[in-house]
Amino acid sequence: MSISRLLLAFATASTVVSAAVAQTATPPSRWGAGDELGMANTLGPATWQRCAQALANPKAKSYEVSHLRSNTMPQSPFGVPLRDKYRPTVGIPGTVHAFNGEETVSGEPGAQGTQMDAIGHFAALPEVWDGKGDFPADRATDYGGYKQSDIKPTPDSPLQKLGIEKVPPIVTTAVLLDAKAYLGKGKAMQPGEAVTAKDIEGMLKAQGLESRGLLPGDVLYIYTRLGRQLERP
What's the rounded Cα separation, in Å, for the pair 68 and 135? 35
Parallel, antiparallel or unpaired: strands 141-142 and 123-124:
antiparallel
What's the rounded Cα separation, in Å, for the pair 88 and 100? 6
Amino acid found at 174: A
- Residue 206, classed as helix, strand or coil, is helix
pLDDT in tens, 35-45: 999 999 999 99
pLDDT in tens, 79-88: 777 888 999 9
26 burial type by CB count under 10 A (0-12 exposed, 13-18 middle, 19+ buried): buried
Closest CA to 119 of 221, 14, 6, 11: 11
User: Hey, CA dihedral for 77, 6, 18, 121, is it positive or negative?
Assistant: negative
- What are the angstrom distances between the C-alpha of 177 and each of 40, 195, 219? 21, 11, 11
| Residues linked to residue 124 through DSSP beta bridges, in sequence order | 141
pLDDT in tens, 106-150: 887 666 656 677 899 889 999 999 999 999 999 999 999 999 999
pLDDT in tens, 210-219: 999 999 999 9
